[in-house]
Structure 1
């Protein structure tokens, strides 16, 4: 059925359920997995103020370093979880993109035939609404999306 599953994660608890569900699916189907996590661009509002160029440059560097460190932690855990259940997996960290755009681009570039993701991420405001990034992926993709709650 599915041969290559893209599992999107932001490291949140709910995304962890998506990772577990995606790995279970991959194991059952003998599919390979690509894990993706996305770091959004540095907030544009942080560039305001009199000394903004100097201060924001330091903040940008800190932001990027923190994002890379966090992504490494998230993806290392995903890879370890995949290895533990015998699923062949690779990991990707996409920087400076909106999550939905990066997920869609990655699914296409990696020739994935299904996307597994949580119903909402760290910024989700409630369990009754579909997160904006998830809704965007669902509405713009041409491949199936498994949304995990």
Structure 2
């Protein structure tokens, strides 16, 4: 059936739950996984939940790279525990849905396995529903896990 899953993750609680379920699904079906983290591009102003910050481009890049590595290491650890073959990837793009779809094509994935939603609060409001955008624009089948 499915041989290679792309599993986007942002480190949120729901995303981590989705990682665990995707690994279980891959174990059951013998599929490989590529975990993917979409890094935001440098903004003029970056909004967090409560404050406005304005880091330098180098500080921002380092911060997003560290976060990508942290999130992907967590996901890889889950796959390693169940002996599921996996890779990790990350890309910088202002539009996470676009990066997710591109990664699915690049890695020749035959299923995108993703959470129904990710970040909450103000960031979630700004980003909109990346899952909805992936569903709308992807030619690769998408399994949405809640």
Output the TM-score relative to the length of structure 1: 0.84
Question: By how many angstroms is 1:59 displaced?
Answer: 1.8
Determine the C-alpha separation between the residues in 2 that align with 1:115 and 1:13: 19
Q: Deviations over 1:28-48 (max 9, x none)?
A: 0000000000111122346xx
1:119 is the counterpart of 2:119: no
Largest Rg, 1 or 2: 1
Match in the other structure for 1:90: 87
The 3-state SS of whatever aligns with 1:120 is coil
- Between 1:6-15 and 1:89-98, the stretch displaced more is 89-98
Unaligned 5+ segments in structure 1 are 47-55, 126-130
1:39 is the counterpart of 2:36: no
Q: RMSD of the TM alignment (CA)?
A: 1.9
Match in the other structure for 1:50: none
Match in the other structure for 2:50: none
Output the TM-score relative to the length of structure 2: 0.85
Question: How many residues matched?
Answer: 135
Determine the C-alpha separation between the residues in 1 that align with 2:135 and 2:55: 36
The 3-state SS of whatever aligns with 1:108 is helix
After TM superposition, the runs of 4+ consecutive aligned structure 1 residues lying more than 3 A away are none
Question: By how many angstroms is 1:57 displaced?
Answer: 9.2
Question: By how many angstroms is 1:148 displaced?
Answer: 1.4
The 3-state SS of whatever aligns with 2:56 is helix
Q: How does 1:1-149 map onto structure 2 within 5 Å?
A: 1-45=1-45, 59-123=56-120, 132-149=129-146
Unaligned 5+ segments in structure 2 are 47-52, 123-127
Match in the other structure for 1:53: none
Is residue 113–residue 144 contact of structure 1 (8 Å, CA) maintained in 2? Answer: yes
